[in-house]
Amino acid sequence: MIRRLRTTPTEPVADAEGRLSAPAALRNRDAILDVLLPRMPRRGDVLELASGTGEHIAALAAHRPDLDFHPSDPDPSRRTSIDAHCRGLPNVAPAGDIDVGEPGWAIEKAADMVLVVNLLHLISDAELSVLLDEASRALAPGGLLAIYGPFLRGGLLTSEGDRSFDASLRAQDPAVGYKDVDMLRTVLQVLELAVEVVEMPANNLMVLGRAKAVAGL
């Protein structure tokens, strides 16, 4: 389900082409690219969940014209923005309509990479469980699941900004809020992904889960 949560003081406004711009996406884009570009697959398909404005996938697709990118978002205004940001990039498919909490999306296409930026704190534990199960099924052998965002660490909120953001989310909907990186690491290991956690600016983390490669592929 899409929740109408207030996460920023003002809602982004679309330009004449329908392009939205998120200040957070512009702030974190280069740090995300720095971590992802050296770890991205040599070939194949990249599926992004909750692509939002489309600014991250447009930047990644411009850097890697040899990969095929598949953005998605359940919000139609976001899909319009994604398609507008990616116009002129022949390696980006039209944005798909995927709700991460609805089982079944993994069967549509095997992915060499699944990317999720700034979503986990906006969904419930049950939706996260579906997301992780589907993402692990969607990954091709050797594929990479990359999850960026703010997290609890050892069950704790570790900055004043995180405490107030998490509290504002839970006040709007008690089902959502920061997830624990240690829990996420354990679940990814149970799903047989090799886990790497990278510290990111502004107390965020990039959690990476690599599927086992199959010899000869």
Ligand X SMILES: C[S@@+](CC[C@H](N)C(=O)[O-])C[C@H]1O[C@@H](n2cnc3c(N)ncnc32)[C@H](O)[C@@H]1O
The CA-CA-CA angle for residues 119, 120, 126, to 5°, reads 125
By the rule CB under 6 A, 52 interacts with ligand X: yes
Structure tokens at 167: 């509290």
What is the rounded CA–CA span in Å between residue 195 and residue 146? 10
Binding mask 66-105 for ligand X (x = CB under 6 A): -------xxx--x--------------------xxx----
Q: For ligand X, which residue of 25, 67, 95, 130 counts as binding (CB under 6 A)?
A: 25
Decide the pairing of beta strands 193-200 and 68-70: unpaired
Residue 123 binds to ligand X (criterion: CB under 6 A): yes
Smallest separation (angstroms) from ligand X to the CB of 100: 4
What are φ and ψ of residue 12, in 5° steps? -65, 145
Return all residues near 174 (Cβ < 8 A) that are at least 6 apart. Answer: none
Pick between residue 85 and residue 210 the one whose CB is nearest to ligand X. 85
Alpha helices (H) along 72-180: 76-85, 125-138, 160-172
Q: Is the CB of 21 or the CB of 142 nearer to ligand X?
A: 21
Q: Which of 49, 61, 67, 147 binds ligand X (CB under 6 A)?
A: 49
Residue from 86, 119, 138, 188 touching ligand X (CB under 6 A): that is 119
Tell me whether residue 150 or residue 209 sits nearer to ligand X (CB atom).
Answer: 150
Nearest alpha carbon to residue 191 among 146, 137, 123, 155: 137
Which residues sit at the interface with ligand X, rule CB under 6 A?
Answer: 1-2, 7, 22, 25, 49-53, 56, 73-75, 78, 99-101, 117-119, 122-123, 127
